[in-house]
Amino acid sequence: MKLLVIGCGQCGGRLADEFARRDKRARTDRGTEIVTEALAINTDVADLSGLTFIKPDHRHRVLIGGRKSGGHGVGKINELGAEIAREEGDRVLDGVARAQQRSDTDAFLMIAGAAGGTGSGAIDEQAQQVKERYVDKPVYALVVLPFRYEELTEDRSIYNVGTCLKSIYLVADAVFLVDNQRYVTDKDSIRNNLARINAHVVDPFYNLLCAGEETDSKFIGSKVLDAGDIIQTLSGWSVIGHGRASVSRSKLPFGGKLDFRNAVAETDKGIHAMNQAKSALSLKCRPDDARRALYLLTAPHEQMSMDLIRDLSSSLRSIATDATIRSGDYPRGKDFLDVTLVLSELTNSTKISDYFSRTLRYIYLKKRRRGEIGEQQVGFDEALRDIPLLL
């Protein structure tokens, strides 16, 4: 599957840069193209200059809102980010149109951090513009949720997340949720490790996007997972993760394939990788809340067996009880067995509901401080429509 990636704001731009890096790797290592073009838009010159893999010209790194922001960002005011994108989104669409002339994309992927200003506002507006222009192509979003320390210290972050999530959900065909806090390990300092986190966030997409783009029959699975399967799976709130197990080559005749003990070890390793993928999902959620799911098994050709595929399917079926499950195999790699897992059309998420109720509380308290509402109006948590749209 080929994506046209548009990163909005600092977080979005850096993640789009990471997608561009993976595309370079896919082209050199595998001879496949997975990103037709990567663009970054920002109100901050310094952020755009800090990127590495996105081409440096003004059509790929688009500075917007120069007049309103002086080139220094919008300081967390996401309404301003949305307003600027509304006024100057045409420049981004020009870049998209040029890219589309060169190579046709299967879908768009818009990326931003929900808690900031520029990306949080611009992603919604820009996604809407792309959707209106390219009606027959899916527009997906990847939205990054803030670290816990940001939520605790910056009230405005919650409001930005609430308004961004509500708006992007209405516009995009599916929204991948990525919780920054899931990638924090105790010994790491957060700031120094954004690059490591970004690599982890993009990792699971690599095999998923490459699998359907292979042209060499050696690397084409018996059940190819292509853009069509991915598009059929993605809808509404979605999460992604991957897990792996190492497979050492056996010294026995025929690679030990005929030894019954190896058949057991093989499925054990598959289940281990599937469990790891489940626990590494980009946002903690309950798999039985998913209405659609997909997994891809990537492993050396000789490690794939019908038993393994059957066991993986039943393992996923046992937890995603209400989901339509799609799957595929991808004979690639040497020493590892990888499972990529996507859960989509999630009908429930405590994390999302929590953002919405905290956003309503933020709005309520702000109005109270301004004297716009009295003591008696405490019932803020029932009406999602009270959260403003950024569109």
Q: Which of 7, 89, 95, 116 binds ligand GTP (CB under 6 A)?
A: 116
Q: Is 194 in the site for ligand GTP (CB under 6 A)?
A: yes
Q: Encoding tokens for residue 85?
A: 């994108």
Q: What distance in Å separates the CA atoms of residue 340 and residue 332, rounded to the nearest whole number?
A: 13
Q: Which of 9, 162, 243, 331 binds ligand GTP (CB under 6 A)?
A: 9
CB of 124 to ligand GTP, least distance (A): 12
| Residue type at 208 in one-letter notation | L
Q: Which of 1, 5, 10, 89 binds Mg ion (CB under 5 A)?
A: 10
User: Of ligand GTP, Mg ion, none, which one sits near residue 43, judging by CB under 5 to 8 A according to partner kind?
Assistant: ligand GTP
Distance in Å from the first CA to the final CA of the chain: 29
CB of 70 to ligand GTP, least distance (A): 11
Q: Is 119 in the site for ligand GTP (CB under 6 A)?
A: yes
Taking a C-beta distance cutoff of 8 angstroms, is the pair 33, 2 a contact? yes
From residue 18, alpha-carbon distances to 30, 49, 142, 143, 197 in Å are 17, 15, 13, 15, 10
Span 64-103, contacts to Mg ion by CB under 5 A: 73
Number of residues that bind ligand GTP (CB under 6 A): 25
Q: Is 44 in the site for Mg ion (CB under 5 A)?
A: yes
Q: Is 150 in the site for Mg ion (CB under 5 A)?
A: no
| DSSP letter (8 states) at residue 359 | H
User: Of Mg ion, ligand GTP, none, which one sits near residue 76, judging by CB under 5 to 8 A according to partner kind?
Assistant: ligand GTP
Decide: helix, strand or coil at residue 331. Answer: strand
For residues 163 to 192, the per-residue mask of contacts with ligand GTP, x marking binding by CB under 6 A and - elsewhere, is -----------------x------------
Q: Which of 32, 43, 238, 303 binds ligand GTP (CB under 6 A)?
A: 43
Q: Which of 140, 147, 176, 356 binds ligand GTP (CB under 6 A)?
A: 147
Q: Is 124 in the site for Mg ion (CB under 5 A)?
A: no
CA trace torsion 188, 191, 192, 194 (10° rounding): 90
| DSSP letter (8 states) at residue 366 | H
Opening angle at CA 237, ends 234 and 239, nearest 5: 75
Stretch that binds ligand GTP, among 72-80, 205-213, 227-235, 284-292 (CB under 6 A): 72-80
Q: Which of 7, 138, 146, 241 binds ligand GTP (CB under 6 A)?
A: 146
Taking a C-beta distance cutoff of 8 angstroms, is the pair 59, 101 a contact? no
Q: Which of 21, 76, 292, 332 binds ligand GTP (CB under 6 A)?
A: 76
Q: Is 245 in the site for ligand GTP (CB under 6 A)?
A: no
Q: What distance in Å separates the CA atoms of residue 140 and residue 165, rounded to the nearest whole number?
A: 13
H helices of the chain, in order, are 9-25, 45-49, 66-69, 78-102, 118-133, 148-153, 155-171, 194-211, 227-233, 260-279, 306-319, 350-369
* CB nearer to ligand GTP: pick between 113 and 328: 113
* CB nearer to ligand GTP: pick between 150 and 214: 150
**Other CB atoms within 10 A of residue 340 CB:** 27
* CB nearer to ligand GTP: pick between 154 and 311: 154
Q: Is 328 in the site for ligand GTP (CB under 6 A)?
A: no
From residue 319, alpha-carbon distances to 24, 176, 206, 290, 291 in Å are 36, 20, 25, 10, 12
Site residues, Mg ion (CB under 5 A): 10, 44, 73
Site residues, ligand GTP (CB under 6 A): 9-11, 14, 43-44, 73-76, 113, 115-120, 144, 146-147, 150, 180, 194, 197-198
